[in-house]
């Protein structure tokens, strides 16, 4: 396996980090389960970290919405996550960041 240069590694990871930051910011801004506050700006970092890898093959905003909702159900519960419709605005923002 070829050794990746630092420059190449940064080139590969920079878009991932940007998307991770975008997803986390969208989750915080919309706060779908009501846990974000000024003292915990990174409240949704763990959820964002499990959502982003799943976005690789999405084709539609509906795919994004389903993934985000599934992760919230997994992290919390179906009851706490609420209905999938709650995640539409988040999915639209993430979809825009992905160019969907």
CA distance 49 to 34: 19
- pLDDT tens digits for 32-83? 999 988 777 778 999 999 999 999 989 999 999 999 999 999 999 999 999 9
Instruction: Using pLDDT thresholds of 50, 70 and 90, give the confidence band for residue 84.
Output: very high
Q: What is the pLDDT of residue 99?
A: 87
Q: Which residues of 59-91 are buried (b: 16+ CB within 10 A; e: fewer)?
A: eebebbbbbbbbbbeeeeeeeebbebebbbebb
Q: What is the pLDDT of residue 66?
A: 98
Q: What 3 state SS string does 54-81 have? A: HHCCCCCHHHHHHHHHHHHHHHCCHHHH
């Amino acid at each position: 396996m070829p050794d990746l240069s630092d420059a190449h590694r940064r080139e590969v990871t920079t878009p991932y980090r940007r998307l991770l930051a975008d997803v986390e910011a969208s989750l915080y801004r919309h706060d779908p389960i009501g846990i974000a506050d000024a003292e915990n700006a990174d409240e949704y970092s763990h959820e964002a970290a499990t959502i982003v890898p799943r976005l690789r093959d999405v084709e539609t905003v509906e795919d994004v919405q389903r993934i985000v909702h599934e992760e919230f159900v997994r992290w919390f519960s179906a009851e706490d996550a609420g209905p999938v419709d709650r995640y539409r605005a988040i999915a639209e923002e993430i979809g825009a960041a992905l160019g969907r």
